[in-house]
Structure 1
Amino acid sequence: MAHRRTTKLLFLLCSLCYALSAIAGKSYYDVLQVPRGASDDQIKRAYRKLALKYHPDKNPGNEEANKRFADISNAYEVLSDSEKRNIYDRYGEDGLKQHAASGGGRGGGMNMQDIFSQFFGGGQMEEEERIAKGDDVIVELDASLEDLYLGGSVKVWREKNILKPAPGKRRCNCRNEVYHKQIGPGMFQQMTEQVCEQCPNVKYEREGYFVTVDIEKGMQDGQEVVFYEDGEPIIDGEAGDLKFRIRTAPHDRFRREGNDLHATITITLVQALVGFEKTIKHLDDRLVDIGTKGITKPKEVRKFKGEGMPLHFSTKKGDLYVQFEVLFPTSLTEDQKTQIKAVLG
């Protein structure tokens, strides 16, 4: 009885740890950009594409890419193993750790290069073989400046064709077979015949679901977030990819130019002449001091170093450029004119 209570308690603790880990970071499925019900072939193809993209040989000196490659390899090692995947689906990473600690599963696992070599032979950067592929779907995604500065995510409703079983059979996996036909003594003619198999029939049905697009800090306009094999499907082939192309959405305070931010601030003529204290609210709600004790000329631009956008895959930041517009009075009294002449004349 005590053993059953202990087992139940361990199960509840594992479930709680799994829930917390899911909240804290990306799941292995998110890392490989595949759905939870992905087939083994989908997982393999997703790994191949991501491993080629983030391999250290293609990203020398890029620590973030190296970390991505390690995460991709770790996710693939778990999801490609049916036993580990089942434990992960039920109990998360803590369940895997407990399983390994108890001596279960394969000891030691594989390192990143071992996994990569399985696909590309000794670590050679081969490109993926050509197979029939459906159309890619490209979606222009307006990302807020806040998400591009801090990192964030956007939920997008997606509708696409899904292949479903249908009554009947169809010709599939057709190929040309070459044979030789004798047409006379010692004479043969080469012939080609198309040979097909009989496969279950399929049909297209339209389905909709939400896709969560992760916006990384410092992403530039034109960069893409790719969901492999989530584009248009094709019969007897691989579905195309779904690509979200990043586009910076307009902002009420800042304008983005590459890694730099630009802002326009209006000050009074008095402030322009005698100086002023002023702050501007940044994208992370931090207040940046842009005041001065000196004179500010109309249209003057001041640079605030390191207050721009973060660089993608880097700890560095661009700069903030503030242009000052001076608000002149619309009219002056004679007395005011006399006083100004006395002070400035």
Structure 2
Amino acid sequence: MKKTTLLLLFVALSLSFSALGGKSYYDVLQVSKGASEEQIKRAYRKLALKYHPDKNPGNEEANKRFAEINNAYEALSDREKRSIYDRYGEEGLKQHSAGGGRGGGMNIQDIFNSFFGGGMPEEEEEKVVKGDDVIVDLDASLEDLYMGGSFKVWREKNVIKPAPGKRQCNCRNEVYHRQIAPGMFQQMTEQVCEQCPNVKFEREGYFITVDIEKGMRDGQEILFYEDGEPVIDGEPGDLKFRIRTATHERFRREGNDLHTTVTITLLQALVGFEKSMPHLDGHLVEIGSKGITEPKAVRKFKGEGMPIHASEKKGDLYVTYEVIFPSSLSEEQKGKIKAVLKS
């Protein structure tokens, strides 16, 4: 018990000092973190067929993806490993294996053979009918993209329900030969269908919790596997929320950097000033200056930009200073300014 506690503590500490890089296992399999075991199996089957080396001879990138897919499936298909991965990430799995847990597992060929019996089914992937994907543009605030956040979205879609009667299903073309004369045969094609229970579409609505991760950028997608439009005798499409940064009143985002404009008086520009600015999460950034600040001057504040997605690093903050000049000066004021500047 003590050994296990120390191991988990070591994992947690090591993760706190290391940045998470690359895709997560869920991203590799193109499923959401809450995907069921059956959804994970289906996702693996589809991707393994697509990137199998036999279908991509000499394609190093496909071979690399195939290895990643098998590695992800090995972790997420095992309940114990998946639980450790969800809490401590990939490093946690390594420590679990090193500490005597169920490590090693099946190799890539073993995993693939467990699905396909050692063979490579020809064009099996293309036989599956899939419903339409639903893509929704999600206007995310800079605050949510800076700190991360989650919110509920109302979703309505067609749902397949039982209906009275029977219907034709699993239709296929069968080839047969018909004799048209002694010793002469003609090849014919006939569509053959089975009888299945009838179904119908009904519209249903429900709430979906959408999680925005720190540093996500425009165009990135949050995937809900098989939550798109359904299709009879096939797989549903996917639901994808596509990130779109909402306009902010103070900050403008460019990649991982933030830009803002601050207004100061002519006096502050000449003699210096102290000033702090609240950031997106409320912490204050000191943007004052002890020297002269020229109009349109730009200062960089390193590490005060947006979080870099899947990393502990941040971009930079660029502040442009606008100087307000007086609209008019009295003769006395002009004289004093001249005297100061001449000296």
TM-score by length of 2: 0.71
Distance verdict in 2 for CA 1:159–1:282, change over 3 Å: same
| Structure 1 residue 245: Cα displacement | 0.4
Structure 2 unaligned residues grouped into runs of 5+:
1-25, 52-59, 88-101
Mapped contact 2:37–2:77 kept (Cα < 8 A): no
Equivalent in the alignment of 2:164: 167
1:194 aligns with 2:191: yes
Equivalent in the alignment of 1:315: 312
- 1:288 alignment partner AA: V
Equivalent in the alignment of 1:263: 260
- 2:296 alignment partner AA: K
Equivalent in the alignment of 2:32: 33
Distance verdict in 2 for CA 1:242–1:77, change over 3 Å: same
Residue of 213, 216, 220 corresponding to 1:216? 213
Q: Deviations over 1:145-180 (max 9, x none)?
A: 122122222221111000000000000110000011
Equivalent in the alignment of 1:74: 75
Distance verdict in 2 for CA 1:179–1:167, change over 3 Å: same
| Structure 1 residue 184: Cα displacement | 1.3
Distance verdict in 2 for CA 1:50–1:180, change over 3 Å: closer
Query: In structure 1, the residue corresponding to 2:78 is in which secondary structure?
Result: helix
Return the alpha-carbon distance in structure 2 between the equivalents of residues 182 and 60 of structure 1.
49
Mapped contact 2:74–2:105 kept (Cα < 8 A): no
Identity among equivalent pairs (%): 70
| Structure 1 residue 260: Cα displacement | 0.8
Equivalent in the alignment of 2:176: 179
Alignment of 1:18-97 (within 5 A): 32-33=31-32, 40=38, 42-48=39-45, 73-78=74-79
Return the alpha-carbon distance in structure 1 between the equivalents of residues 197 and 71 of structure 2.
40
Equivalent in the alignment of 2:247: 250
Distance verdict in 2 for CA 1:195–1:216, change over 3 Å: same
| Structure 1 residue 306: Cα displacement | 1.9
Q: Deviations over 1:56-84 (max 9, x none)?
A: x96999xxxx8x997764332239xxxx9
Residue of 233, 236, 239 corresponding to 2:236? 239
Equivalent in the alignment of 2:270: 273
Equivalent in the alignment of 1:9: none
Residue of 122, 129, 137 corresponding to 2:125? 129
Return the alpha-carbon distance in structure 1 between the equivalents of residues 107 and 265 of structure 2.
61
Corresponding pairs, count: 282
| Structure 1 residue 224: Cα displacement | 0.7
- Runs of 4+ in structure 1 off by over 4 angstroms are 47-53, 57-61, 68-73, 111-122
Return the alpha-carbon distance in structure 1 between the equivalents of residues 235 and 282 of structure 2.
45
Return the alpha-carbon distance in structure 2 between the equivalents of residues 134 and 301 of structure 1.
51
| Structure 1 residue 214: Cα displacement | 1.6
Query: In structure 2, the residue corresponding to 1:162 is in which secondary structure?
Result: strand
1:342 aligns with 2:339: yes
Mapped contact 1:32–1:46 kept (Cα < 8 A): yes
| Structure 1 residue 120: Cα displacement | 8.3
Query: In structure 2, the residue corresponding to 1:343 is in which secondary structure?
Result: helix
Distance verdict in 2 for CA 1:128–1:212, change over 3 Å: farther
Distance verdict in 2 for CA 1:336–1:306, change over 3 Å: same
Query: In structure 2, the residue corresponding to 1:168 is in which secondary structure?
Result: strand
The CA RMSD measured in Å over matched residues stands at 3.7
Q: Deviations over 1:230-268 (max 9, x none)?
A: 101111111111010001112222110111100111111
Query: In structure 2, the residue corresponding to 1:164 is in which secondary structure?
Result: strand
Query: In structure 2, the residue corresponding to 1:211 is in which secondary structure?
Result: strand
Mapped contact 2:70–2:111 kept (Cα < 8 A): no
Distance verdict in 2 for CA 1:119–1:342, change over 3 Å: farther
Equivalent in the alignment of 2:281: 284
